Each structure stands twice: as C-alpha cells, then as structure tokens.
Structure 1
Amino acid sequence: MTSFVELKLRPELQQALDELGYEEPTPIQREAIPVVLSGRDAVAQAATGTGKTAAFALPLLQGLEPGSRTPQALVLAPTRELAVQVAEATQRYGRQLGARVLAVYGGQPIPHQMRALSAGVDVVVATPGRAIDHLTRGTLDLSDLRTLVLDEADEMLDMGFAEDIEAIMAAVPDGRQTVLFSATLPARINGLVKRYLTDPVKIKIERPKPSAEGGASVRQVAYLVPRQHKANALGRVLDIEAPTAAVVFCRTRDEVDSLGGTLAARGYRAEALHGGMTQDQRDRVMAKIRNRTAEILVATDVAARGLDIDHLTHVVNFDLPSAADTYVHRIGRVGRAGREGTAITLVEPRQHRLLKTIEKVTKSRIAVETLPTVADLRARRLELTRGAIAELLREDDYEQYRVVVDALSDEHDIVQIALAAVKLAHESGIAGPDEDDIPEVTVAAATAAQGTKRPPKNLGDTVTIFVGLGHAAKIRPQDLVGAIANETSVAGRQIGAIEITHKFSTVEIPAAAEAEVVAALQATLIKGRKARVERFKPPSQRPPSKKKGKQP
C-alpha cells in the first residue's frame, strides 16, 4: 500500500486526509489499517510519533453506524494530554462524517462528561481511571461496543492502571475487536494479550532511520510557541532568517490560505499550494518560485509532493508532524548535494514530548532556541537597511539625487541629512510588522505541562495529604501517582514522598495544588474504591480520642 486511496476509505475520510495533507501512509498505518478494517484483533509494537492514531482512528470511523446512542469504540490512553490529542485527531478525521468523539479524563467536571455521554457518543477516548468512574456510575454504556483500543499500553501499566484495564476489558462485550498499541511488549502485556485477545495479528514496526539526505548540512532548530501566537512568531523568525526561498508546511488547506495571506501582508512574496488548486494554478505558483518572483511557498504535504527547488534555503514546520518519517522527508528538501539549509519547527508546549521523540528517532539534535525578541527584530531590520544602502553605494548610479542633498545642506548638517535618508529608507521597507509581545515558553514549562516524569530539583512549598486507602486495598505508589497526575494539573514529577501503611497512605504534593488534589481525589475512584482524602495531620496535632486508650 503506497497511498491512502488504495484503502478505499469512505469519501468523507479521504477528503479529510487530503485536507490534512496526508499523502502516504506511515509504516504502522500500512500494516495496521488493513488488519483493523478486517475486524481482527491486533497487537502492534510501534514507537510514539509513528502515526499510530490514524492507524486505529481511520478504521474505527470507517465502521461507524449512524444513529447509535452508545459508544461503538472506546480508546484508552494513559494521560489526559494523550486522550485529548487522540480525540482531537479522531474528530478531525471524522468531521465530514459527523462523528461524535468525546475525551473523558480527570480534572474536567464529571457532570459535563455525563451529559455528553447521555446525548450520544460514537467514540470515547478515556483515561482508565475516569472510564472506571463512569462505569461504576453507570454513565458509560459499553453494551454495544464493537472495538476497544489500548493506546500506549506499556505506559498505562507503568502508571498503575493494570487492574483498571482488566476491569474494563472484562466489562466489554464478548466478540468485540481489541487492538493494542505499545512501544514495548513486556511480559505483563503478553499476559493481557493471552487473556483478552483472540488470535491477534502481531505487527512490529522498527524505528524509522533518518534519511541520508540533508544530514549534517541541515541546521535544525525549534521554537516553543503558544498556538495563538504561531503566525506572528513565524513572521518574526522569517524576518530574522531572511531566507532566499522557503517552504512552510501546514496541515490543512484553510491554514495554507490563511498563513499565505498573513505573510503577504507582512511584505513577503508568498504563494499558497494545496490540493484544492487546479493544475494551471499549481504551475503558475511553481513558476513564480522557480523564477524567484516568489520567495515563500506555503503548502500541504500532498501538494508539495515531488517538489524540488534548487535554491531552497529553509523548510518550516508550521505544524509539528505526528510521524517522524514525515519530518525527515520534509527537512530532506534542504541541504541536498552538500548545500547548507535550515529546518525550523514551531512547537506548541503540549507537543514538546513529540519533538523529543522525533529527535530520538532521527538520531539528530533539534536545538530549542529562544524566539527572537522585538529588539532582535529591529536590530536585524537595521542591518538589512545598512546592507541595502551599502549595495546601492557600490552601484554608483545615484548622482541624480545630488540636487536634493545640495538643497538641504544649506540648512542642515550633512550627517543629519544622511540619518534622515536612512530613516526614510528603513521605515519604507517595513510592511506593517506585527510586533506584539509573544509570551516566552521555556523547555521546563513545556515539560511540566506534559507531565514528563523527571526527578524534581525542588518541590518548593509542599503539604502532605492523607488518603484513606493502604496496603489492605492493595494500593501501590504508582496508583497514587497515576490518580493525581490524571485527575489534576499536578505532573508526576511534582509529587514528592509517598508512604503507604496498612490502612492509609500519605502523599507529598505542591502546596498550591492542595485544594485541587483533595477535591479531585474525593470525587474519583482509586483502584475502584472511594477514599477519604484530606490534609494529613501528624499524631501530635490530632485531637485526643474520646475512646480511652486509643488514638485515631
């Protein structure tokens, strides 16, 4: 299979893929989509960033039946971030079908989720703890479920969700299709497979190797930018880089048109290229790029297929691709035949983990740099003005303007006249730049937002909370970490010391998050059980017991 067209997907899905710029399926998509479409159970081993979401989401959407009140597919994901990401992607693929996709995770008001489930949902993407919560409440009806997907299964087990997963798998109907995706396949996953999957197809995708094209001659750099500021950030970066020719990759046709207009308003000779254009329109655009009357091409992956621009100096990923081989293919367009080139990627804070995955897969370093400031921008523009004036002085064809200088020199110093002329030239070359402040996002902040498990250097002010479950309830540290990380905004790395006794546990958390954590854990289940949760009071601070001889 070399194209999505060969899959014969529903026209609505194919249209979505075209608009998103999906040209060729990734290896995991080539292997997994036909299997999932066939209805077989499957175990797929593939790394993050290889395009797994489309590998299961497209078959799920292909088989949706209209009018169902209860979920036809359930996707389990280890974290709220991944659940939201998978739900958003599935919604994009199924938009033309009117697919109803709901992300269900901790930290979001449960009544809102209950209302959405009651109204009718086709695909539910959930963290295990919140799925169990809804099953216990009777608000998640899996009686008509056709497909269960376990995404990042090894990470879910590492976070202590083994019992939740088994409870969910035991609750779904017999005969449903089960698809499991995992970066690794440890023994405990093989145990799940043997108990709950029927004659599964085994799929293993090796990590893609970086392309030989480009290589060391390509400078790779990334900027962390909030989504709402990406267009402004791109303009600022291009102003600093001053590319001879650049290709800016976007996901959708609408994004291509919008961004092309934004760059044109900034003074760039930008052209758009996407699948909605006729061949004549494509040819005209490419002619402008090749004869250098246009300097920036904003395009989708599909539209840029086979694109080869000899004088290309920059490739920009306006949207970070979800598959590492797509990233490699894009940056391979610069740095060919020994020429130097630059690959720039604008990364939203929540995508920082994906960026690190691409870096590992491609075995290349992607430097995360600070976005140029307004001061940097002004300095760069002055440098360009200086260069333009120096070039003009070398041409020696400005004698006709001497009359202006002679007339002004009677009243003004010659240096003042020169400064005024430079100011006029400089300001005339600025096409209404957008110099709004763009908030700085640090690597540390992006990592914290994703909950990357990393030992904290300093927890700052902390408090200890009491959780009324312990060894008697088979509570382990990972159960508490998983519950807090998935039900609140506190990342796993922000959780400190954990102590578990026979009847209760104590957990050290940031003081600023105490109210949020206590409220969230009181409202959810930990390993299927409700727990009393409150600020921990050492024995010396507790009131004396009313029962003689006993302490609470």
Structure 2
Amino acid sequence: MNFREINCINENILRAIDDMGFESMTQIQEQIIPIALEKKDVIGQSQTGTGKTVAFGIPIIENIDFESEKIQSVIMTPTRELALQVSAEINRLLKYYPSKSVALYGGEEITKQIKRLKDRPCIIVATPGRLMDHIRRRTVKTEYINTVVLDEADEMLSMGFIEDVEEILNEMPNRLITMLFSATMPDRIKNISKTFMNEPAHIKVQSKAMTVDAIDQKYIEISEHEKFEALCRLLDIYQPPLCIIFGRTKRRVDELINGLQLRDYKVEGIHGDMRQEKREKVLEKFKKRHINILVATDVAARGLDISGVTHVINFDLPQEIESYVHRIGRTGRAGNTGISFTFVHPKEMEFLQEIERHTKSKMEKYKNPTGAQAKEAIYLRASDKIVDTITNGKEEQLEKIAKTLLETYDAVDLIASALKIMTKSDKKKAAVRLTGESPLKLSKKYRKFENKNRAGSDKRSYHKKSDNRKNHQEHRNRQDKKNGNEKGNKDKKSVRYDRKRQRSNNE
C-alpha cells in the first residue's frame, strides 16, 4: 500500500516521505496510521526495524497546530540513542514544516536542552527521567499536549523507568491520544494500557519466528579462554563491512576494544559509563564507515538503527533471552541479509536451547575456525586485490620494476612475497588476555517445564529431610527435659527474640 492511498495525509508529509525514499508502507504502518489519524488510542506490538517511527510520526504531525508554538506531543524512549534517532526521523518528516522536534535525555547538560526548548518545538522526544526533570522545572509544560507515544515500552519496564512513565502520564491532560509500542506485553505494560488508554486498538505484527528470517543464525560451542582468538579468526575470515559485537559487561566491552585495537582492527565501542558526547562520536564514525566494528553492551545498543550492519557477534550470551532478539535485529534489515554468530560455553547449552524455543528458530552449529582458515581467507582477499589492480590498468613505472625483478627471481616467489607484505603475515600477534566470565545459568523464570519424576523425587527428599529435622528436635527436647534445661532454653529464646526486636527498631 502506498502512502498516497491514505487521502488525509498532508502533502508536506508526502513530499518528505518521497525524499526519504519510501515507496510503500510496512505492515505496521498500514494498520496503525489510519487508526491513529482518527485520533484513537492504539497499541502496536512488533519487533524493532518495522517502521514504527513513521507509523506514529505521521499521525502526530497531522495533529499539530504549528501556529500555537506550544509543545503538543511527547514521545518517550528508553535510551538516549533511541531518543536521538527517533528525533532525527521525526525531523525528516517535518522537513517542509516550520518546526523541528527536540531530544531530551540524561548525560547532557540540562541548560543546553533548556536553550533548545526556547526555539518552541511542537514535538519532544525524551527519556523518562530527563522528561520528569523538565516537567518539575516547568521547562516542559503539559497543558497543550494532545498526543503521547511510549516507544519500546517493555524496554522502559526492564530498565526500571516504568514508575517515571506512570508519573508523567498522570501529569498529562485528560483529553489525550496515547500510542504504545512494545515487542512484548508484560502484565505491567498491560496495566498501563488499561489505566491510561481509552479502548485502544491492538495491532500485533509479528512473524511466526520472532527473529528476522533474513538472518543466518550460527553458534559456536567454545570455552571461555578460546573465545578471543575465535573472534579474531571470524573477523579475518568474513571481513565484515559493518559488525556489532556484544559483550555482557562494561569491563568486557573495554577489554574487547583494547584487545582488538592491539590486533589492528578498526574498532571502537559504547557502554553506559561513557559520556554521551563520546558515544555519539563513536556511533557517527561507525555510520560513516570510518570504523567497521562496534563493541557494545545491551543497554548502550538499545534502539540502534544503523543501516548496513552485516554481522552480529554475541561474544557473550545476553543476561535476558529477549535481548537476543534485539541484538541480532541490528542486522538483516530493509530487505538485506545478515549473519549472527553466538559463542556458547558447553555449560550454557540449556540457555541456547531456551533461546531457540523462545524465538521459534534453530541455530546452525559452526565449527570453531582455525588459524589456517583465517590465513587462507586473508591470502585470497589479497590475491583478489592483485587481480583487481591488474584489471584496472597498468602503471609504466611499476611495470618496469616488475620486469627487472622477473629477470632475477621466480614469478611464483615474487607473488608470494607480495602477498606476504600485503597481509603482514609475518607480524607477530599481540598477546591479549581477557578477564574470565562465568557461564550463564538458566534462571527460574524460564524453567516452565520441569520433569515430573524429578519434582516427585524432590518432594520425597524434602519430606525425608523434614522428618529428620523433626526427629532431631524431639530428641533434643527429651534431652532438655532430662537435664532440667527446658526453662533455660526458653529464656535463651526470649533473649534472642528481644535482641532481634531491638535491631529491628534501630533500623
């Protein structure tokens, strides 16, 4: 379906969409836009990369009175990066309008944001915590707000922002259009929809498999101490144009950045402890292909929308199974294919199986690449470069030198030496040692299907232990009576109770 088939979309928006290169609507855009244009509340349940921003952006802009110069729409996102990306996308839709959106997020001086707010934006995109700050300062006034969007609501819940979201919604006018977007619908998110939304339409756009079909998912069963060398070999074999590597902790990300830089890879990274200014610079370098490898934690990479990512490598399994979907969703976008590799410790195989069950997809087992395979891939690429150079034309000066060399040396020896120089194969690799991480254990919330026999066995074991404790206690009581110490034991219990009560009062 084409955007122009919806008759009530303003020509200014349609011109902007043409400039953005969109020809037809995605599934969620087809279903959300007509409902939202009727000023009805809507819930959109879909994965990342489905065109949500345009789906809520068009109805927001259609509902703006640009002459009023008041804040009329608020979009809440879980992270700074997503706030910046959503704001940039909204501004592309606003290309032919007199107003632009403003992003408000933590990690940036609030005075700079107050200065931007003086430009009287009609739309703001904000993280919940920073939005609360502005509302309390009255630098963001809620009186004229007519539309609120909660983007990636489940992520705001998992990151602990949901109380702020509820408080912000309580500050909003009663006559409000609310749009909520979430990949999953936990009970707390359902409660928000019941409390703050008016008979919302529920649009669910989800493929049979939760992960993108265009992604070739592979896993490597590997021990902790082998992972770094395996990573380097993968990078040498595939030479990814744009690759994101995920580490579980900030320390892991820092160590991977340092280790890969020592091995001469073009790599930088982002995590929560980095200043926002530095994170933005790193992402800009990655988008412009000045570096081809980005190392990130889950939180720092939330909502990243970078086109052209070809490979995702899960150096560590994510803490939460849902995060796996978000990770590999960075690749295989906009009709392109992608590859994901996941390193799995032998003790983490149960966790991997749960990911497959959750995503309704199977990962292909991939053998740990060898050093010989990596070298062969490097040499093949170097030989391709030589062939390309020959195809693109000759240089007379180099040709003279080549003829002179051929008079003295064998042609095979010359080409082999050239390949060696091009690949720097004689260069000694820097030694890299990472701090070990313990294998992940499957948490209780994922253990839905327990073995009945095991459960029965545990129950019997429990009763047996209870009986032993009971018999032991009865034996002690008999001994106390025999020794005349029953009263003394009661006194001791009273003293312990009094001490416990005293500690409680002090706290």
- TM-score in terms of structure 1 length: 0.46
Q: Which has the larger radius of gyration?
A: 2
- Identify the structure with the greater helix proportion: 2
